[in-house]
A = this chain, B = another copy of it.
Amino acid sequence: MYAVIMAGGSGTRFWPLSRKARPKQFLAIGTERPLLRETVDRLGPLIPPEKVYVVAGEHHAAPIRALLPDLPADHLLVEPCPRNTAPCVGLAAIHLARRDPQAVMAVLPADHHIGDGPGYRAVLAAAAERAREGEIVTLGIRPTRPETGYGYIRYDGTDPVVAANGVEVSRVERFVEKPPLEVARKYLASNRYLWNSGMFFFTAARILADIERYMPHLARTLKTIGAAIGTEAYPAALAEGFAGLKSVSIDYGVMEHATADPDLPPMRVVPSDFGWNDVGHWAAIADFAEADRDGNIVDGDAVLVDTRDSIVHVTRGTAAVIGVEGLVVVSTDDAVLVCPRGRAQDVKRIVTRLQRDGREELL
């Protein structure tokens, strides 16, 4: 099994800590080490670094090499331009297919938090077992709230396949879009829906076959790029090929079609419970980081007086916070953020405003 870590994110929701040049995967947010480093370390006992591939944009290549010195040099696959996850997965697949078309790829985001490492690796092992059979497997997180920010997976839990390690693997009925709140409540109550974690498992041969079936233009481009691997023509073929691609997610481009196709083996999902968190905004830290007895989560130099349930993250200077509750306070080298935990999603509005005002130095 190989891990393919998608590290192309350019998240803005951790502004002012996250910037174009330093997106979330490079930050330690409620964690000891940067999320990308934690992702690689978490895989270690199951997938050692020499079987890890990382796909990322050109301007992040240097920081990734610095953060992952144990990653083989040719395992960093650079995307010349961002084209969402389908081209990203396809690029990794053509590289892996040259080595072993039957290699199982675990496609994983670089910037999520996992609370239960052993549980996570058990699920990965079970998913890989099915993927080796030529199936596509996804991880679905058991929802704990009526979240409207995620896609969902409707699944049939009645007749699971049980993996060698005892983990049950169910059938996907269908992928569904981010729901409105009322619908999300019904999903939660029904116990028939899981959050789409964006983690997929398949052999290189299987995903390339599906891309050929459902995304023929991408397939042709990948063939041209693949033919140039290991030659001097590769950079130009990659740049030209990617430039001509549309931005499409692997979910939309392949998974949804493959699920509905009766000629294909069933799409699988492992209903999972390993303390998953996509660390979507500052307030999400409270879901997994340890709070002090006042409910505060403090990282960096801070003095708190009569303050509760707040998230204080300081990378420059000292933050003094008096008499507030449920506030996010972030202080970095050149910017400060203050907002209630419930408004953490709106940090992107600040970024939008800065973009509109041409404040490039803050982006």
Residues of A within 8 A of B (CB): 15-16, 303, 305-306, 314, 316-324, 327, 329, 331-340, 342-343, 346-347, 349-350, 353-354, 359, 362
Contact = CB atoms under 8 A, between A and B. Distances in A.
17 contacts: A306-B343, A314-B336, A317-B333, A318-B359, A320-B339, A320-B350, A321-B337, A322-B340, A322-B349, A322-B350, A323-B342, A323-B346, A324-B327, A324-B338, A327-B338, A329-B336, A336-B336
Contacts of A316: 334
A323 B344 CA distance: 10
Given A16-B318, A303-B354, A305-B353, 14 more contacts: A305-B349, A306-B343, A314-B336, A317-B334, A319-B335, A320-B339, A320-B350, A321-B339, A322-B338, A322-B339, A324-B327, A329-B338, A331-B331, A331-B336
B336 A319 contact: yes
A305 B346 contact: yes
A354 to B, nearest CB: 7
Contact of A320 (B16, B319, B327, B340): B16
A94 to B, nearest CB: 42
Contact of A335 (B320, B334, B340): B320
Contacts of A342: 323
Contact of A338 (B16, B320, B350): B320
A331 B336 CA distance: 7
Nearest to A319: B336
A333 B331 CA distance: 11
Q: Which of A322, A337, A349, A350 has the most CB of B within 10 A?
A: A322
Given A303-B353, A303-B354, A334 B322 contact: no
A350 B305 contact: yes
Contact of A337 (B15, B320, B359, B362): B320
A303 to B, nearest CB: 5
Q: Which of A319, A331, A334, A336 has the most CB of B within 10 A?
A: A336
A317 B303 contact: no
A74 to B, nearest CB: 40
B331 A343 contact: no
Nearest to A349: B305
Report, nearest first, the 5 A-B pairs whose CB atoms are least far apart. Answer: A322-B339, A323-B343, A317-B334, A320-B350, A319-B336
A322 B336 contact: no
Nearest to A338: B321
A317 B332 CA distance: 9
A350 B319 contact: no
B303 A322 contact: no
Contacts of A353: 303, 305
A298 to B, nearest CB: 13
A320 B319 CA distance: 15
B305 A324 contact: no
B349 A336 contact: no
Contacts of A335: 317-320
Contacts of A324: 327, 338-340
A314 B320 CA distance: 15
Contacts of A317: 332-336
A346 B321 CA distance: 10
Nearest to A325: B340
A316 B334 CA distance: 7
Contacts of A321: 337-339
